[in-house]
């Protein structure tokens, strides 16, 4: 995996904005996972969306200041809603953005 050090260094320095997609597997549907994710994202001042997929996972996108996005990623990996059981959280398509592409954090049907 070349180039990971440079990416990590670049992320550590600025409070730039990032966008990252996520998918959470486990017991995450029917346990208010989306509602809690929205609440946590709003608490952190992040924007994006969350939705249930047809194959039993929850997916979405997070955008905001890097450090805050990291906090929500950690929350999606370990915490979730009180009744959820997270087996895996995967993050992809991470990129630096110059402006937020969403107005708020929405639950999509």
**For the segment 66-109, what is each residue's pLDDT rounded down to a tens digit?**
999 999 999 999 999 999 999 999 999 999 999 999 999 999 98
| pLDDT of the residue at 105 | 98
99, 17 contact by CB (below 8 A): yes
Cα 64 from Cα 67, distance rounded (Å):
8
Contact 80, 25 (CB under 8 A): no
Give the residue numbers marked as catalytic: 34, 52
Tell me the per-residue pLDDT of 25-61, one tens digit each, with 9 for 90 and over: 999 999 999 999 999 999 999 999 999 999 999 999 9
Q: Give pLDDT, residue 1.
A: 46
What is this structure's pTM? 0.85
**Inter-residue contact 81 to 34 (CB < 8 Å):** no
Q: Which domains does the chain have, with CATH numbers?
A: 2-107 (3.30.70.100)
Contact 75, 23 (CB under 8 A): no
| pLDDT average, residue stretch 4-19 | 67
Q: How far apart are CA 93 and CA 1, in angstroms?
A: 16
């Amino acid at each position: 995996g070349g180039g990971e050090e440079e990416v990590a260094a670049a992320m550590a320095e600025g409070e730039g904005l990032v966008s990252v997609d996520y998918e959470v597997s486990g017991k995450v549907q029917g346990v208010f996972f989306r509602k809690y994710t929205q609440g946590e994202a709003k608490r952190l001042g992040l924007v994006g969306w969350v939705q249930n997929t047809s194959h039993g996972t929850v997916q979405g996108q997070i955008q905001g200041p890097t450090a805050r996005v990291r906090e929500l990623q950690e929350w999606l990996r370990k915490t979730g809603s009180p009744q959820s059981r997270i087996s895996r959280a995967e993050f992809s398509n991470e990129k630096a953005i110059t402006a937020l592409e969403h107005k708020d954090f929405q639950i999509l049907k």
